[in-house]
Amino acid sequence: MLTRRADFLAANRGLRIARPGFVLLAKPNGGQGKRYGITITKKVGNAVVRNRMKRRFRELLRAHLPELGLPDHDHILIGRDGGVERAFDHLNVDLAEALGRAAAGKGDRPRRNNFRGAGKKRHAGAGQ
């Protein structure tokens, strides 16, 4: 299981597959085997909700990684807001599909920069 922040940040530069309940990140780890990590932001809910979601994700990963996980890759599940209400069977199918897409190298488009005005210089009173 991944615990170091550096591993999570490195995985963010790999394949990204979004599903309704989670986002899967997959990145080669240089021969360290199949590793996984789970992260859920405070936007998702309170601690009880986040811990329940982590337990569900752990169980999904234990079931699918041995057979469908990419060899020598880090797999990270990022919980999304609708993930806790999503039926476990649906999450099961979603993870199998996401791992299949990752194995085929079919990730989603890279994320765009969410900071508005990135690269633009703004001055107080400019243009007014």
The pLDDT tens digits along the chain (128 residues) read 899 999 999 999 999 999 999 999 999 999 999 999 999 999 999 999 999 999 999 999 999 999 999 999 999 999 998 888 999 999 999 999 999 999 999 988 776 665 555 555 555 555 55
How far apart are alpha carbons 120 and 24 in whole angstroms?
32
**What global pTM score does this model have?**
0.83
Domains of the chain and CATH, by start:
5-103 (3.30.230.10)
Specify whether the CB–CB gap between 110 and 72 falls below 8 A. no
Computed over its alpha carbons, how large is the radius of gyration of the chain?
A: 17
Specify whether the CB–CB gap between 3 and 47 falls below 8 A. no
Instruction: Tell how far CA 65 is from the center of its chain.
Output: 14
